[in-house]
Amino acid sequence: MIRFTSVSKSYPRTGTAVDNVSLHIGRGEFVFFTGPSGAGKTTLLKMVYMEERPSSGEVRVSGTSSVTAGDREVAKLRRKLGIVFQDFRLLDNRTAEQNVAFALEVTDTAPAMIGPKVARALTQVGLAGKGTAFPRELSGGEQQRVAIARALVNDPFVLIADEPTGNLDDRATRGIFQLLREINASGTAVMMATHNLELIRRQEFRTIEMTRGAVVFDSAEQKPARES
């Protein structure tokens, strides 16, 4: 479903961000990406939604190749992905409902479909009663839920979350993580970058650790090696 083949990414000024990474993420998987700041987690995630293209190698996401895809194809691909960030990225002058609806409005969704889809997505993240609230009237955890609802409203096959709990307290973090598990349980793959080792340690999910652009540990492949 998502495959990295010998992917490297370097920038003219800062040097290598991702160094010869090959990996595969299957349908419905839950994968943690971890490692110190600047290890290349964010760059790796950006290459999934093709905000960045590899300097060498290829990323394939659901049939779209980073080597050949044009702007239009990337736009079409992103309609099948859900993307969430640490800083929520909500529009302050729109209500929760309008923020979620925005994703549908700008992708040519039939107007009649928008209302029901938005209501369903907000219910799914537990904000059914807060649709008319503006972001400033919501807690951090609630704002992130709105962002997740926006990511889910197009029924993505994978949810990409870059430090989704980075700005949240422990309680909100647990809530968001619980929500991501539920989303994963309903069949959507989740790729989550996080610093929160506490969170990872308590889970059985696949964990990929990166250092200086390279994958240094992948629990799906290297578990035996680590145990020995």
CB of 87 to another protein, least distance (A): 10
Contact 7, 167 (CB under 8 A): no
Query: Residue 46, interface with another protein (CB under 8 A)?
Result: no
Binding part of the chain for another protein, among 31-39, 101-109, 127-135, 170-178 by CB under 8 A, reads 101-109
Query: Residue 113, interface with another protein (CB under 8 A)?
Result: no
Calpha distance 127→119 (Å, rounded):
9
Calpha distance 159→28 (Å, rounded):
10
CA–CA distance from 70 to each of 11, 64, 95, 99, 125 (Å)?
21, 10, 33, 27, 33
Candidate residues 16, 102, 119, 211; the one interacting with another protein per rule CB under 8 A: 102
Binding part of the chain for another protein, among 15-23, 74-82, 170-178, 215-223 by CB under 8 A, reads 74-82
Strands 15-25 and 81-85: unpaired
Looking at the Cβ atoms of 68 and 93, the one nearer to another protein is: 93
Candidate residues 6, 56, 62, 91; the one interacting with another protein per rule CB under 8 A: 91
Calpha distance 56→66 (Å, rounded):
10
Count interface residues toward another protein (CB under 8 A).
21
Candidate residues 60, 79, 130, 181; the one interacting with another protein per rule CB under 8 A: 79
Candidate residues 13, 37, 68, 106; the one interacting with another protein per rule CB under 8 A: 106
* Residue 2 DSSP label: E
Query: Residue 77, interface with another protein (CB under 8 A)?
Result: yes
SS3 content of the chain, % helix, strand, coil (to 5): 40, 25, 35
Query: Residue 78, interface with another protein (CB under 8 A)?
Result: yes
Query: Residue 152, interface with another protein (CB under 8 A)?
Result: no
With the CA atoms of 68, 32, 9 and 2 taken in that order, what torsion angle do they form, in degrees rounded to the nearest 10? Answer: -20
User: Rule CB under 8 A: which residues touch another protein?
Assistant: 49, 71-72, 75-81, 83, 89, 91, 102-103, 105-108, 150, 154
